Amino acid sequence: MQKNKKYTVQNSPFIVPTTDGKIIKEHFGNASHGDSKLSIAHMTAPAGWSEPFQTPEFDEYTFIIKGKKQFIIDGEELILEAGQSIKIKKNTRVQYSNPFTEVCEYLAICLPAFSIDLVNRETE
């Protein structure tokens, strides 16, 4: 095995435990590599899924691979479809959901990396 490689191949991302049916596979970030600068995760949100409102302390970039995803950003409702992407600036109140009948598959990139301590989810 060669030392000091200038690349890392991720063959087994960290599967983040969830209770809402969403599948989160973190390829790079806090959970997978202890890197707090950036996180990249492949997400699969089932039909009918939603999260509480949150005000993250990180920028979040989302690229929709398949299906649709709903965003409520500072009271404005947006729906993105496969092939579209969005950047939501840190300290912005947002709710993510998939109220549709098909699965939504997407990539989420957070800068700095996603951390439960930085997401600031609201309790209902």
| Residues 94/33, Cβ–Cβ less than 8 Å | no
Helix (H, G, I), strand (E, B) or coil at 23: strand
pTM attached to this predicted model? 0.92
> Which residues partner with 61 through β-bridges?
87, 109
**CATH code, residues 19-119:** 2.60.120.10
d(CA 5, CA 122): 42
Per DSSP (E only), the strands in the chain are: 14-16, 23-28, 39-45, 49-50, 59-66, 68-73, 76-81, 85-88, 94-98, 104-111
Residue 36 structure tokens: 């707090």
Boundaries of every domain in the chain: 19-119
| pLDDT tens figures, 58-106 | 999 999 999 999 999 999 999 999 999 999 999 999 999 999 999 999 9
Average pLDDT estimate for 23-42:
96
User: Is residue 124 over pLDDT 80?
Assistant: no
Q: Which residues of 12-39 are buried (b: 16+ CB within 10 A; e: fewer)?
A: ebbebeeeeebebbbbbbbbbbeeeebb
Q: DSSP label at 121? A: B
90 forms beta bridges with: none
pLDDT on residue 70: 98
